[in-house]
Amino acid sequence: MQYRIAHSGITWGYDASTAEAAVRDVAACGYNAYETIGGVIEAYEQDGADYAALLAKYDIPLIGTYVGTGFRHDSSPAEDIKNALNWIRRASEMGATTVLIAAGSRKGGICDTTAGWRHIADAFAEIARIGLDHGMQSAVHPHTGTLLETRRDIDNFFDAADTDLLPFAPDTGQIAKAGDDAVATLEDYKSIIAHVHLKDYGGGRETGYVGYEPIGSGVIDMPAIFAILEDIDYDGWVTVELDGTPEAPRPPGEAARMSRDYLAGLLGDQVTWSERSG
């Protein structure tokens, strides 16, 4: 089987100021596609810039947009749904096919009721239906610091959700950082995986990347992750991620190339890297 490997823009930062550098470097490394946060596209275009033109300049497609939400099990999702509509509409115009949905913060307390999880799942379902209206499949992304962080949270959410509408977008690094086994989680949920965020974890040491590492430099068993994807004949996207910070030990483009080189060695001719002029 063949893999399609993208890279997200968060290694370069989380705002519009680094948008061009991120797209440029990801394209130069030979990744097949690019993924970013919905709010970054919105911010980039606020002063009249065209994100589609930026992608075209570096000859790389956009395949997904990340929709972080702020609502909780005990609050209204109305503002998040409004934001999601705008972000999804614009991403779909640029050819993106996937919406990654993440939950609100757990700082105000965790969700520990069936009704609370149903409230979250129902709101996510509304976002997913907006995605379908724009030709995009949604998938649910666990993230540390959110209501959907631990394996217990993941189990509770999917017990409440329609997994045809809301399949899984596991993030290997986030799962590991939450204290759970990324390989076991993907194995248990492999039947509903629709998108993968591939992230390595440093095992608890400080790395300059909020505890994460370039792919192959951390503690996650990457061959085992890909064995699971092989087992299900996975045909979705695998997006490499690495959380950038000012303390990062190397330029973001170098980190992206490290991950690409590791994956090239691991996957061999199962990936056709993109060659671009310029």
Say if 276 falls within a structural domain: no
Helix (H, G, I), strand (E, B) or coil at 27: helix
Structure tokens at 83: 């934001």
Domain of 145: which CATH number?
A: 3.20.20.150
Provide the domain count of the chain.
1
What pLDDT score was predicted for residue 47?
Answer: 87
Say if 86 falls within a structural domain: yes
Say if 79 falls within a structural domain: yes
Say if 88 falls within a structural domain: yes
Helix (H, G, I), strand (E, B) or coil at 138: strand
- Containing structural domain, residue 204: 4-270
CB-CB neighbours of 45 under 10 Å: 16
Say if 29 falls within a structural domain: yes
Task: Please write the tens of the pLDDT for every residue from 51-94.
Answer: 999 999 999 999 999 999 999 999 999 999 999 999 999 999 99
Q: What is the pTM of this model?
A: 0.97
What pLDDT score was predicted for residue 278?
Answer: 60
Helix (H, G, I), strand (E, B) or coil at 148: coil
Say if 103 falls within a structural domain: yes
Residues in the chain, total: 278
Say if 142 falls within a structural domain: yes
* 209 to 2, 6, 222: CA distances (angstroms): 29, 19, 18
Q: Which residue ranges of the chain lie beneath pLDDT 50?
A: none
What pLDDT score was predicted for residue 277?
Answer: 73
Say if 69 falls within a structural domain: yes
Residues with Cβ within 8 Å of 50's Cβ and at least 6 positions away in sequence, in order, are: none
